[in-house]
A and B are shown apart, each in its own frame.
Chain A
Amino acid sequence: MDVSQYLEIFIDETKEHLQSLNTQILDLEQDSENADTINEIFRAAHSLKGMAGTMGYKRMQNLTHDMENVFSEVRNGNIKVKANMIDILFQCLDALEEYLDNIQTTADEGTNDNEPLIKALNRILDGDDSGASEEVTAEEPAAREVRSVPGEGAKWTTVVLGDSERTVIQKAMEQGKKVYGLTVYVQESCILKAARAFLVFKAMESLGEIIVSSPSAQDIEDEQFENDFSIFVLSDRTLEDVIAAAESVSEIERAVGGLLDLSQAPTGQAAGTEEPEREEPAAKADMEKDVPVSAPVNLSAAKSERTVSVDPVEKAAEKLEETTTVQETQPASAASSKHEKKAAANKPVVNRTVRVDIEKLDSLMNLVSELIIAKNSLVSISATSSSDASASSAFNEQIEYLESVTTNLHESVMKVRMVPIESVVQKFPRMIRDLQKKLNKKMELYMSGEETELDRTVVDEIGDPLMHLLRNAADHGLESAELRKERGKPATGSIHLDAYQDGNNVIIEVSDDGGGINVAGVKEKAINRGVITPEQAENMSDKDIVNLLFLPSFSTAEKVTDVSGRGVGLDVVKSKIEALSGEVDVKTKFGEGSTWTIRLPLTLAIIQALMVVVGDEKYAISLGSIETIENITGHDIKYVQAKEVINLRGSVIPLIRLDDMLDIRKERGNDDNLVVVIVRKGDKQAGLVVDELIGQQEIVIKSLGKYINKCKFISGATILGDGEVALILDANAMF
């Protein structure tokens, strides 16, 4: 059954389910008796299982099946929710996300069986939760060990190999092929064991060549074996692949195997650690050796072209999944082209879809139809333009109507692109919980304004910087429990994440009630690093010192942990935010906490702007940043620290002479009547001196392209009605 067409839907829905599971398990932690939450979780797990099964992802299906079992018991009241269960559940979610990532990159779920997790889940089911919170983090190596430890029924290790068989195996190994020993256990309830064994053989043949089997192939066909048989497979594939292929046959209980190590004879241990050494000499072997088993070798040689990367990669256990999934997709059934496309692309397939409210689409439809009506009436007017007077007035009317319709249309389309930041921030509570455990500090995350909307592209990019700021707050900001006690703060640190709209911008604030930024410490570190000289440090305000934190590789952390401390994060945060035409700022009070503010513009291609004239050039200033427009005389200009300022109704506002900023040569006439445009950025104000005002206009922002991105004040250009180009001033960049 070709399920590739459902792949996108599957990825989307799985993501949603996983996200909701995350939130709900968090809720469950707080309130472990809540029947609704438990039901929701059970349903989500059940749906996931169904979807995974339909798409053919067996491992995912198994894991969710076990999760579902656990939840079914909880639902029936047979098991109580305990702390370690929550931990294991979260690990399961992580494993599922891992599968999903694999699916996204390579359309296959990968080979991680997550055996320890499944075992843990089963233990819970058996009511044995005294196993505490077993850290099943090292799942992959653990899984591999399970496979290669011969103790657990790896009967193949006891098979005696005849001389000719040994020679064959030897030659194959010298050529760099891998020989695995495999013991396959058939389910006890299986009736047609021979048929199952035959299927296993077939599966093995597709991966490589079976050299030896014990009992002999004939005996197996005659069902002369109990419940298990052992085989030696020559293959280029990985051990996991081979075992997986064997286990994928129905009614096969399990398969145990390992890399064959001839030197240790029939009782050979798994040559897991010896793999690297073997690979080196084997790889150098002469490929033209004449081998009795030439047929399978040729087959493997042919395959080796495709699998050349496997050998060196074998050394790195982590890389296993990538190569095996690449190979697994090739023999996979239909839609292989799609799989290969996904396998080839190493970048994850980012799904570029947006969920849109039906209402938004409806209003869009309405506006487009109104547009058509306006167009029609214009057409009819132009066709029947009799006397100028009546025609032109009707014309104007229609033009006005057209104007309002297009503005509304633009707004609607923009709204469609807007996505609430909820989707980004909802994974933060979970992260804080994990950090809490890791850093051993109690902390609580308070979020507000999740419904604030941002353009979709911005939302995608903002996740990382926010995460980093939160981690900083948790790691550097919040003090340890003792310190907090000394300072008289509550034991649980609080981190606030607030988002709201402010004029033309969206503001996101991350604040903590931790220790604040130690300005003196930063200063010292900067001097030590040679970033600034002690004299410079004297002259720098606190604000400047704090801004040093944004420099690359700057960190006051004593040591590097995997949470932070490398000095890389803030620099990346700043550059990412600036790439979105935003700004990041920090306010801090030593001992009390810090607040990091991110300011982002609502991306608009059309803005309301004020057209001004400076010199003889026209410029546009976005209306959103403008507070007021004032007329001042030369007398109002005072000088503070050699800079011009004015005293406007009590507040002192610095003046910025645009003709200077923009290199416009102009004779400064008498300053009798100056037009000053007061702009605001957050809580700072400035006055821009212009020569003349033209008026308000709706303009379309055109980008200047990459060749002219040096000038910070110019954020774009627009084309005026008469064809002239006017530059758009970015008031925020001027102060």
Chain B
Amino acid sequence: MDELKLNAAYVTDSDEDDYVAPQITQFIVVKFGEEQYGIDIKYVDNIVRMQHITRVPKVSNYIKGVINLRGEVVPVMSVRLKMDLADDVETKATRIIILKLEQHCNIGILVDEVKEVVNLEESQIERVSYEAKDDKSNFIYGIGKYDGGLISLLDLNTVALDKEAVS
């Protein structure tokens, strides 16, 4: 259902001033290792620096733990571990992006680096067809092309919520 929401952003929603093709979606470009990924900005609550993560026992391995975010306890997960990449290495550039996926439901994800914000038009996004076999590919719903290169657009719902099915 939430996938429909993501796609709805690209549904024609006429913008008077924009005589060119509509829908510019903003993405935050992050890096995991050498690859660049894009996160739809409408899900991003805020971005904080790396801080001490309190471990929580007996949870899936990609849940790193919880952090204290101005009085709120927010769980933090590692997208790398979710996608079967190498574990996160904490550097000065590491950030935690707090996402708001559902009502009152915040979750943070660890990223190696936050690069920039890009505006992508519908034409610059190439959809990826879902192959049900490869789990990893389900996290990406498209590829965005811009000057800096290619970014894989993360489908946050599969990234965050899939855990229920997995565990």
Q: Which residues of B contact A169 (CB under 8 A)?
A: none
Query: Is B107 an interface residue, CB under 8 A from the partner?
Result: yes
In this complex, the member of B56, B60, B63, B67 whose beta carbon has the largest number of chain A beta carbons within 10 angstroms is B56
Is the beta-carbon distance between A617 and B54 smaller than 8 angstroms? Answer: yes
- Inter-chain CA distance A719–B68, complex, in Å, is 7
Chain B residues touching A, majority SS: strand
Task: Closest B residue to A617 by CB, please name it.
Answer: B55
| B116: interface (CB < 8 Å) | no
**A707, B73: Cβ atoms closer than 8 Å:** no
**Which of A662, A704, A723 contacts B58 (CB under 8 A)?**
A662
Interface pick from A275-283, A308-316, A724-732 = A724-732
Which residues of A699-735 have CB atoms within 8 Å of chain B's CB atoms? 702-708, 710-714, 717, 719, 723-727
Q: Beyond A710-B167, A711-B59, A719-B68, is A704–B54 a contact (Cβ under 8 Å)?
A: no
Does A708 contact B63, Cβ atoms closer than 8 Å?
yes
Q: Whole-angstrom distance between the alpha carbons of A617 and B55 in the complex?
A: 9
**How distant is the Cα of A704 from the Cα of B58 in the complex, in angstroms?**
14
Interface residues as binary, B73-92 with A (CB distance below 8 Å gives 1, 0 otherwise): 11101000000000000000
CB-defined contacts of B167 to chain A, threshold 8 Å: 710
B57 with A662: CB separation less than 8 A: yes
Judge if B42 is at the interface, Cβ distance under 8 Å. Answer: no
Cβ–Cβ < 8 Å partners of A664 in chain B: 57
Provide the residues of chain B in CB contact with A663, threshold 8 Å. 57-58
The answer for the CA separation of A185 and B117 in the assembled complex, in Å, is 78
Is the beta-carbon distance between A710 and B67 smaller than 8 angstroms?
Answer: no
Q: Number of A residues contacting the other chain (C-beta, 8 Å)?
A: 24
Contact A703 B107 (CB under 8 A): no
| Chain B residues near A702 (CB-CB < 8 A) | 72-73
In the complex, which of the residues B67, B71, B106 contacts A705, with contact meaning CB atoms closer than 8 Å?
B106
C-alpha spacing A663/B65, complex, angstroms: 13
Question: Is A661 an interface position by the 8 A CB rule?
Answer: yes
Nearest B-chain residue to A722, judged by Cβ? B68
Render A677-709 as a binary contact track against B, CB cut-off 8 A, 1 for contact.
Answer: 000000000000000000000000011111110
A719-B68, A725-B67, A725-B73 given; A706·B59 CB < 8 A: no
Whole-angstrom distance between the Cβ of A670 and the nearest chain B Cβ: 25
Q: How far is the CB of A719 from chain B (nearest CB, A)?
A: 5
List B contacts of A719 (CB < 8 A): 68, 71, 73
Chain A residues contacting B55 (CB-CB under 8 Å) are 617
B54 touches A707 (CB 8 A): no
How long is the Cα–Cα vector from A710 to B105 in the complex, in angstroms? 16
* Distance, CA A270 to CA B63, complexed state (A): 68
Q: How large is the interface on B (under 10, 10 to 19, 20 to 34, 35 or more residues)?
A: 20 to 34
Q: Are A724 and B54 in contact (CB under 8 A)?
A: yes
Q: Determine the chain B residues whose CB is within 8 A of the CB of A704 once the complex forms.
A: 56, 66, 73, 75
Say which residue of A710, A713, A724 sits within 8 Å of B68 (CB atoms). Answer: A724
Please report the number of residue pairs spanning A and B whose Cβ atoms sit closer than 8 angstroms. Answer: 68
**Closest residue to A706 on the B side, CB-wise?**
B105
| Closest B residue to A716 using CB positions | B73
A258 CB to nearest chain B CB (Å): 47
Interface members, chain B 147-167 (any A CB < 8 Å): 160, 163, 167
Q: Name the residue on B nearest A720 (C-beta).
A: B68
B66 x A725 contact (CB < 8 A): yes
B27-63 CB mask vs A (1 if < 8 Å, else 0) is: 0000000000000000000000000101111111001
Residue contact B73 to A711, C-beta cutoff 8 Å: no
Other-chain contact of A710, B52, B59, B73, B77 (Cβ < 8 Å): B59
B107: chain A residues within 8 A (beta carbon): 705, 707
**Residue picked from A661, A712, A723, A724, most chain B C-beta under 10 Å:** A723
Residue from B57, B63, B72, B106 in contact with A713 in the complex, judged by beta carbons closer than 8 Å: B57
Q: For the complex, what is the distance from the CA of A727 to the CA of B68, rounded to whole Å?
A: 12
A620 nearest CB across to chain B (Å) = 12
Residues in chain B near residue A713, CB distance under 8 A: 57-58
* Also in contact, A714 and B105, with CB within 8 A (given A707-B163, A719-B73, A725-B68): no
The distance from the CB of A93 to the nearest CB of chain B, in whole angstroms, is 40
Q: Say whether A708 contacts B54, CB under 8 Å.
A: no
Complex formed: what's the CA distance from A705 to B73 in Å?
A: 8
Question: Which residues does chain A contribute within 8 Å of B75, judged by CB atoms?
Answer: 704-705, 707-708
CB-nearest residue of chain B to A614: B57
Contact of B73 among A661, A662, A703 (CB under 8 A): A703
A714 vs B68: C-alpha distance in the bound complex, in angstroms?
16
Is B160 in contact with A707, judged by CB distance below 8 angstroms?
yes
Residues of chain A with a CB closer than 8 A to B163's CB:
707
A663 to B52, CA, bound (A): 19
Q: A705-B106, A708-B66, A719-B71 are in contact. Are A727 and B56 (CB under 8 A)?
A: yes
Q: A713–B58 Cα gap in the complex (Å)? A: 9
Closest to B57 in A: A662
The chain A residue sitting closest to B60, CB to CB, is A710
CA distance A139 to B115 in the complex (A): 71
CB-CB nearest in chain A for B55:
A617
Measured between beta carbons, the chain B residues less than 8 angstroms from A711 are: 56-59
Report how far A661 CA is from B73 CA in the complex, Å.
Answer: 22
Instruction: Please report the C-alpha to C-alpha distance between residue A725 and residue B55 in the assembled complex, in whole angstroms.
Output: 9
Q: How far is the CA of A719 from the CA of B66 in the complex (A)?
A: 11
For residue A723, which residues in chain B have a CB less than 8 angstroms away from its CB? Answer: 68
Complex: chain A residue closest to B52, CB-CB: A724
Q: A708-B59, A713-B57 are in contact. List 15 more A-B contacts (CB 8 A).
A: A617-B54, A662-B58, A663-B57, A664-B57, A704-B56, A705-B106, A707-B75, A714-B58, A719-B68, A719-B71, A719-B73, A723-B68, A725-B73, A726-B54, A727-B57
Q: Which 3 interchain pairs have the tightest Cβ spacing?
A: A725-B54, A662-B57, A711-B58
Write 23 A-B pairs (CB below 8 A) sorted by A numbering: A617-B54, A663-B57, A664-B57, A704-B56, A704-B66, A705-B73, A705-B75, A707-B63, A707-B160, A708-B63, A708-B66, A710-B58, A710-B60, A711-B59, A713-B58, A717-B54, A719-B68, A719-B71, A719-B73, A723-B68, A725-B67, A725-B73, A727-B57
